[in-house]
């Protein structure tokens, strides 16, 4: 990870931005706090875009930043056609940097005195209907793809967590998968799968190349990416005549959660299985 982090800093060093040294210190602080590299990279991208706006306005010192600069950044992202949830996510990353600068007495606290909120529609997570689930599974003939879909359905894992799973993480006897570090909050947990998922996994193991690092891999043994998994899933949806319903890989996680709740599992137990930090997330 250190080599990848150094590449982020090297890319930053090549740019002429106001407050570049403060941004470098901020990224180093986040690295020392053991934040995910993807999170640090996203923060760097967001803040770099913002500092370019500041630069275009002729400001070469961070102490010259005003609230109007934040508003200009939000408008720029909205003009790009980004979803409200994406704009809010990027604004949150920018505000975290602003709070860091306020703590370091680089900028005035007045910039964040008045809250800046991006309203996002609160739609409920989408789960797959039971009949649609049966239709989907009935058309998946490929043993690898069937194992992927069934494990997502039966464990409630995030797709990234499943793609990072290694053979030693799976206990076929106990029908259990150990997730050493959750994709979002870095909290480890164990998830359990059913007999049909176990049968699909065993069928895949019979064809799987044992020298591969990860349980699931793509062409020429390369690590299976989210994009490749998504394409595979979309093809399965089309084959089942379900593409128009807008199901995603993440819907399989919601389907698992809904099934367990309908079966009477307490909300707190479900929270543990899904790896949520707050029970309110699970409740929603």
* Structure confidence by residue, pLDDT tens digits, 5-36: 999 999 999 999 999 999 999 999 999 998 88
Residue 280: predicted pLDDT:
82
Distance CA 26, CA 201 (A): 44
Question: What is the pTM for the complete model shown?
Answer: 0.67
Low-confidence ranges of the chain (pLDDT < 50): none
The pLDDT value recorded for residue 122 is 64
Closest CA to 247 of 265, 228, 233, 231: 233
pLDDT for res 126: 83
pLDDT value for 2: 86
| pLDDT for 182 | 63
Q: Contacts by 273-278 with C-beta closer than 8 Å and gap 24+?
A: 273/156, 273/189, 273/191, 273/192, 274/156, 275/158, 275/179, 275/182, 275/184, 275/185, 275/187, 275/189, 277/185, 277/187
Among 159, 162, 154, 165, which Cα is nearest to 128's?
154
């Amino acid at each position: 990870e250190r080599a990848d982090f150094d590449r982020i800093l090297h890319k930053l060093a090549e740019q002429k931005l106001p407050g570049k040294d403060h941004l470098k210190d901020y990224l180093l602080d986040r690295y020392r706090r053991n934040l995910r590299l993807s999170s640090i990279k996203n923060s760097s991208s967001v803040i770099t875009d913002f500092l370019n706006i500041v630069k275009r306005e002729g400001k070469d010192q961070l102490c010259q930043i005003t609230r109007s600069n934040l508003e200009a950044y939000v408008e720029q992202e909205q003009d790009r056609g980004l979803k409200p949830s994406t704009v809010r996510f990027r604004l949150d990353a920018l505000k975290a940097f602003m709070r860091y600068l306020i703590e370091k007495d680089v900028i005035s606290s007045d910039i964040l005195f008045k809250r800046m909120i991006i309203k996002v529609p609160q739609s409920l997570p989408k789960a797959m209907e039971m009949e649609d689930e049966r239709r989907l599974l009935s058309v998946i003939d490929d043993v690898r793809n069937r194992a992927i879909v069934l494990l997502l359905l039966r464990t409630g894992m995030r797709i990234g967590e499943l793609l990072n799973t290694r053979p030693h993480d799976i206990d076929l006897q106990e029908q259990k998968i150990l997730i050493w570090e959750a994709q979002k909050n870095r909290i480890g947990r164990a998830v359990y799968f059913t007999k049909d998922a176990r049968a699909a996994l065993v069928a895949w193991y019979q064809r799987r190349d044992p020298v591969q690092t990860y349980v699931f891999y793509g062409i020429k043994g390369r690590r299976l990416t989210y994009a490749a998994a998504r394409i595979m899933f979309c093809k399965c949806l089309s084959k089942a005549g379900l593409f128009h319903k807008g199901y995603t890989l993440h819907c399989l996680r919601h389907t698992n959660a809904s099934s367990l709740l309908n079966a009477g599992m307490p909300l707190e137990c479900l929270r543990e299985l899904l790896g949520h930090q707050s029970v309110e997330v699970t409740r929603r």
